[in-house]
Structure 1
Amino acid sequence: MSISRRSFITGSAALTAAMAAAAAFAVSRPVPGTYGDAGPRRPVIDTDALDTATEYDYVVVGAGAGGVPMAVRLAEAGHSVLVLDAGPATTDPDVYEVPAFHLFASSDPEMSWDFWVRHYTDDRLHGSAFVRKRDGVLYPRASTLGGCTAHHALLMLAPENDDWDRLGRITGDPSWNALVMAEYQARVREWLPIETSPAAILAEDPTLARLVTAALVDAGQLAPPASAIDLNRGTIAGTLLDPNDPAAIEAYRQGVSLVPQSTRDGKRYGVRERLLEAAPGLQGRLAIQSDALVERIRFDTGGPRPRAVGLEVVVAPHQYGASPVRRTLTAAARDAARRTVTARHEVIVSGGAFNTPQIMMLSGVGPAAHLRAHGIDLVHDLPGVGGNLQDRYEMTVVTEFDRPFSVLAGKTYGAEGDPGMTEWRSGDPNALYRSNGLLVGIKQTVAGGSEHPELFLFGAPSNFTGYRPGFAADGIRGGDHFNWAVLRGYQKSMDGTVRLRSDDPTEPPAINFRYFDDGQSSAGTALDLRAMRDGIERARSVNATARRLRFGDAATDHEIYPGPAVTSADDIDAVIRRDAWGHHASCTMPMGADGDPRAVLDARFRVRGIDGLRVVDASVFPEIPALFPLMTIFAMSERAAATILDDRAGGGAGGRTGGRADDRDVGARTALSGDLGHDHDLDLDHDLRTDGTR
């Protein structure tokens, strides 16, 4: 491949624009203050609410992406809300807060739930990540206040408009559309800060700058013309700095961008912060109970339809079998720790794509034959519970350089005396650790796919080939690897299951994603393999371009994964089938139209055939949305709150209203009587910190 002078100038101008805009953005952010003991204090928050009250209007199971935004809005509207989470309230502060440490957050034993999942029914189809003694591939989840927003890589991409329109078509509810959902996406941005990596990373490291420039040059045919570059604003056609620009999404725009991350002043920001920042102003209405494992939902079956009336909960730390630091209780200890929780209005399950269907099935809601096989009394036969499991396909292209990246020199990722931590703690807007490491992204359409982008590539100085034991340490070792991750959105060949292993609430379920139609050949498999192959070829092409741009630095590199010998379509497909992974499990409690036998929920989040029970999390989607789903889940949670309030006010009987957020007084401040307790207080001035270090 030859590089024309015009292409090089365009790429260089684009990089200059990106760096200038990002630098201006960074320095315009206020530097956080450093407070000593005499500094400003925030109110303390109780996270042992069940010590003082066990009855609430709404009980939300799960303090993650689906549960928290909704819970806050319900409390703001004047209702008493209890948020339960099975994980701890506090985790290692540096591992949690530092964006550069997200791989460590994903493997922090204090908050990790390590599921071992199958990609195929046939053992022989798995690759080297399959651990036979665990009968699966490692799939890290997080159990703590914030759920998986406590450990994810912080990347934030808005959904495509068709994600919402498609949901309307599937459910038969026209109020699910992009125009209506724009309101709820705006509500998310009221509380969700988004930043980008410091531009100084590229200014300080010519090799990384060369890789980013190569992406701009190589993907230039996907981008607007050079005339669209605005150096004053630091944008290309208004979108370089922010790929979430609604105009870019509306135009199905492809090409290179900076990578938005959910941080505030260089610290992780997720729904943990949303919950704990809202709670002081909602005392008496918003209650939190950590270390609370839900055993089952309680039902009143005396009426024409079962009604959810509460939960059985065991309050004790690290009970669940997926926890690396599991503490097994005796039967007597479990009985002593068990609490009965009552929901006056509704129980809302937001436990995620694995645990929400598990809780439902343990409670007697699910496929009748499967429940009877485990000796569970049937409350309501819903065959779709735990089916339809979907995820992304992801792969990487990893190159090894002949020397470490200069920007990583001396950085020890939190070890004693680490200069990177000194910079980060100082509030320096150019500190390396303010970045999640994802320096550049490429959106790209797929041949045979939809009009909007279905591939996303993102580059980072890392050595990552999927989730396997030791992935965090492997990811940073040496400081001389660069990783292009290839993510295939909107896959067409995955339809997995979550099934009980037993009736024990502490035992993780059996999970089988059934990748590539469980190893079979199909039209969907062919499309997904081609898309992943295109992504790998794009990453290799960018690397080749970077080698040709080696003017300002002497570093050389070679590909170590998938490896230079893997070149034919058949060989690349074989590696993809063997080694692909995912990290966005969804769709196991899907919404659907009346009459759809696989639909578990209606369009208003209600469990079909049961009163007083809803689901609000990633499991509700009938098809996995967006390239990265978190912003979609946040907006869905905001809508769920408005829908619940609308139904409570009597406006949702027809099931066809959009449940607008402003239909209720979400600013209500009517406190319920009663003290919710002060036995397990957290000092928010220290951001839920413990004394642990890493």
Structure 2
Amino acid sequence: MRYRLLSTLVAAATVAAVETATETYEYVVVGSGPGGGPLACDLARAGYKTLLIEAGGDEGDNPTYSELGNFLEAANDEATRWDFWVKHSDDPKRELEFKHMTWDTGDGTFYVGLNPPAGAKQLGIQYPRAAVLGGCAMHNGGVCSLPQDEDWNLIVNATGDTSWEASKMRQYLKKIEKNDYLPSGNAAHGYTGWLSTSTGDASWAKNDSLPATKILKKMAELTGQNPADVASLANSDILGAYDNKDDITSFYNMVQHADKNGKRSSPNNYVRATLADPKKYPLTLKLHTLATKVLFANATAAGGLPRAIGVEVMEGASLYRADPKHVPGTKGNTTQILASREVIVSGGAFNSPQLLKLSGIGPAAELQKFGIPVIKDLLGVGEKLADNYEGSLLGLATEPIQGAGLITMMFRTPSAPTKKRNIFTWCGVLSFEGFWPGFPTDYGPHEYECAMVHIGPKSQAGSVRLLSADPQDVPDINFRFYEHNGDVDLHELVEGGKLLREAWQAAGAPTLPFNELHPCPGTAAGANCSDAAQAESYKTQAYSHHATSTCAIGGDKDPMAVLDSKFRVRGVVGLRVVDASSFPVVPGAFPSLPTMMISTKAAEDIIADAQKAG
């Protein structure tokens, strides 16, 4: 398949000149997504003069972004899209088995597939990120779920900081949430925060004649739930406070960060509300500003440790080469901005480690390779890249499935190593097979899919590494899927797919038989598809969009720890990282909400330190 390469413009290059720093703030926050946006607002609302830097623009009034239902269009939109072309392994042959491998044909088009035209340049596997006020919370599907309790508690175990205990972390959900789907007064939820949460209509599950309801009941039977209760189970609160919640297999009503009218709720709303508030909070926003380096000075008061004193930025739109609108050779004016208290980096799992390395913080050998002076040798920067494995069961029904609502379930497969559930699935008349230019494929009204997110992947071997010292360059990103204990994870995915396939057979006529497209092409019930064949499909066609852990929190004795439990970068002063890269592991099934929660926690930590310092 061919797709248009966007904005293939040619213009003369401009040369950047470094200007003297003219602005000083107490805090400078780099990145306005789920980590940085709320944090900047909280600091400003506490009275601290705060600058929020965002490389993209503001699309908050654009229906493509403000209407959550347009999320597929938003993720494809060149107005905000940064294209990272990633690898899933170190094996070139395996990479070429990914059916949505993307190529630059050289004539202004992309080719997506396994048989590129002669002379096409292999780009990689598309991993779009959003350069826009609000970050990736502006182009995602808005799915909200909570980490497993052990994802919080492992930080306690590693650092001794009991403020991370799972029982204490719900307070941050309650603080940011404006619940639109439950009556007020539910002690597990918040009702006055900045983040609206809502659910869809699950009343379809009351109609026993629908094929989707028959599938739902069979899923209940196969997972130990009562088929007679599916109408109420399908409306369960996925963010509820349940005893031993991570051991519970159950249907849920999917929660999204949107209001009850379908308007996306994100850090964009919080930033705009803070800027417009009559109280005139001291928040400044700089859009189209690419942070290129954190600035340091030696501070004897800090025991001789280097102190972050500001950032160097390049001003202008589409300066980063991941931007499809970038014009080769274009640079912006370079300016230095000072921070009297701290710099907070919130660029996400790809850009935060890149910025740290460009600033001299990271593995010394890697920095020296590109002539970057070493401020602090930190081995873990850019390492331990983690992500959920995602796969799906996709087929075409004999007749379109009428009246099908969205089925959401979290369940445990038989071989899971603990009692914890390990699969998050959602099923419906949809098609989602990962990312490529122009995704997804529309298979028409007969399509039906159960998409799966694997919770708690065993391997964490990915990396984000520099290709140059040029801040406009995109780093080398390799997830190294299934590098460790891959057979275990693949077996769990196969078990999940087999359970869902069996449930499909309950749909009855005229829906049956399904013509399965993957992982077992052409089989009605997977009868002629071995477990090994299914595992190979999940291995070569896995996709993901929940990158985390490249600047991970860890204990004092962990040589790979980048941050302490207060998000402070080890070995320097005045610098923190607050975003999805901070998590030691992927937090559950979807990291957007957990990242907004830790943003609020980080604000508390930073304000507490500021009050002590005076």
Please, what TM-score do these two structures have when normalized by structure 1?
Answer: 0.75
1:441 aligns with 2:436: no
Q: Which has the higher strand share?
A: 2
Distance (Å, rounded) in 2 between the aligned partners of 1:151 and 1:223: 36
1:180 aligns with 2:168: yes
Distance (Å, rounded) in 2 between the aligned partners of 1:54 and 1:541: 63
Distance (Å, rounded) in 1 between the aligned partners of 2:328 and 2:280: 34
Equivalent residue in structure 1 for 2:573, among 599, 611, 617: 611
Aligned partner of 2:286 in structure 1 is: 289
C-alpha deviation, 1:292, in angstroms: 0.6
Alignment of 1:473-488 (within 5 A): 474=441, 476=442, 478-488=444-454
1:558 aligns with 2:515: yes
Aligned partner of 1:321 in structure 2 is: 321
SS at match of 2:242: helix
Aligned partner of 2:384 in structure 1 is: 388
Distance (Å, rounded) in 2 between the aligned partners of 1:295 and 1:260: 36
1:263 aligns with 2:258: yes
Aligned partner of 1:301 in structure 2 is: 298
Aligned partner of 2:429 in structure 1 is: 461
Going from structure 1 to structure 2, the CA distance change for 1:648 and 1:291 (only over 3 Å counts) comes to same
Aligned partner of 2:506 in structure 1 is: 545
Whichever residue aligns with residue 466 of structure 1, its letter is: G
SS at match of 1:649: helix
User: Contact 2:219–2:500 at 8 Å: present in 1 too?
Assistant: no
Distance (Å, rounded) in 1 between the aligned partners of 2:208 and 2:131: 39
User: Contact 1:212–1:439 at 8 Å: present in 2 too?
Assistant: no
C-alpha deviation, 1:404, in angstroms: 4.9
User: Contact 1:117–1:513 at 8 Å: present in 2 too?
Assistant: yes
Whichever residue aligns with residue 463 of structure 2, its letter is: T
1:197 aligns with 2:200: yes
Equivalent residue in structure 1 for 2:456, among 460, 485, 490: 490
User: Contact 1:56–1:344 at 8 Å: present in 2 too?
Assistant: yes
Aligned partner of 2:241 in structure 1 is: 246
User: Contact 2:423–2:496 at 8 Å: present in 1 too?
Assistant: yes
Q: Which has the higher helix share?
A: 1
User: Contact 2:60–2:66 at 8 Å: present in 1 too?
Assistant: no
Per-residue Cα deviation, 1:209-255 (whole angstroms, up to 9, x for no partner):
4224412332235355478x59xxx744xx83312111166363212
SS at match of 1:388: strand
Runs of at least 5 residues in structure 2 that lack an aligned partner in the other structure? 1-18, 104-120, 178-192
User: Contact 1:460–1:484 at 8 Å: present in 2 too?
Assistant: yes
Going from structure 1 to structure 2, the CA distance change for 1:124 and 1:276 (only over 3 Å counts) comes to same
1:121 aligns with 2:90: yes
Whichever residue aligns with residue 538 of structure 1, its letter is: L
1:83 aligns with 2:52: yes
Going from structure 1 to structure 2, the CA distance change for 1:221 and 1:571 (only over 3 Å counts) comes to closer
Alignment of 1:308-457 (within 5 A): 308-330=308-330, 334=332, 337-404=333-400, 439-446=406-413, 447-457=415-425
User: Contact 1:211–1:542 at 8 Å: present in 2 too?
Assistant: no
Distance (Å, rounded) in 2 between the aligned partners of 1:220 and 1:87: 48
Distance (Å, rounded) in 1 between the aligned partners of 2:223 and 2:482: 28
SS at match of 1:650: helix
Distance (Å, rounded) in 2 between the aligned partners of 1:155 and 1:216: 24
Aligned partner of 1:655 in structure 2 is: none
User: Contact 1:220–1:255 at 8 Å: present in 2 too?
Assistant: no
Please, what TM-score do these two structures have when normalized by structure 2?
Answer: 0.84
Whichever residue aligns with residue 198 of structure 1, its letter is: D
C-alpha deviation, 1:363, in angstroms: 0.7
Runs of at least 5 residues in structure 1 that lack an aligned partner in the other structure? 1-49, 408-436, 652-663, 665-694
Whichever residue aligns with residue 223 of structure 2, its letter is: L
Whichever residue aligns with residue 531 of structure 1, its letter is: E
Whichever residue aligns with residue 75 of structure 2, its letter is: S
Distance (Å, rounded) in 2 between the aligned partners of 1:206 and 1:438: 13
Whichever residue aligns with residue 290 of structure 1, its letter is: L
Distance (Å, rounded) in 1 between the aligned partners of 2:383 and 2:246: 34
Going from structure 1 to structure 2, the CA distance change for 1:226 and 1:525 (only over 3 Å counts) comes to closer
Aligned partner of 1:63 in structure 2 is: 32
Distance (Å, rounded) in 1 between the aligned partners of 2:479 and 2:595: 21
Per-residue Cα deviation, 1:164-215 (whole angstroms, up to 9, x for no partner):
1122112232221012212112112122222122347779x999x4224412
Whichever residue aligns with residue 157 of structure 1, its letter is: S
Q: What is the root-mean-square deviation of aligned Cα atoms in Å? A: 2.7
SS at match of 2:212: helix
Percent of aligned pairs sharing the same letter: 32
Going from structure 1 to structure 2, the CA distance change for 1:405 and 1:77 (only over 3 Å counts) comes to same
SS at match of 2:393: strand
Alignment of 1:29-68 (within 5 A): 54-68=23-37
Alignment of 1:614-693 (within 5 A): 614-650=576-612
More RCO (CA 8 Å, sep 6+): 1
**Number of equivalences:** 551
Distance (Å, rounded) in 2 between the aligned partners of 1:402 and 1:320: 47
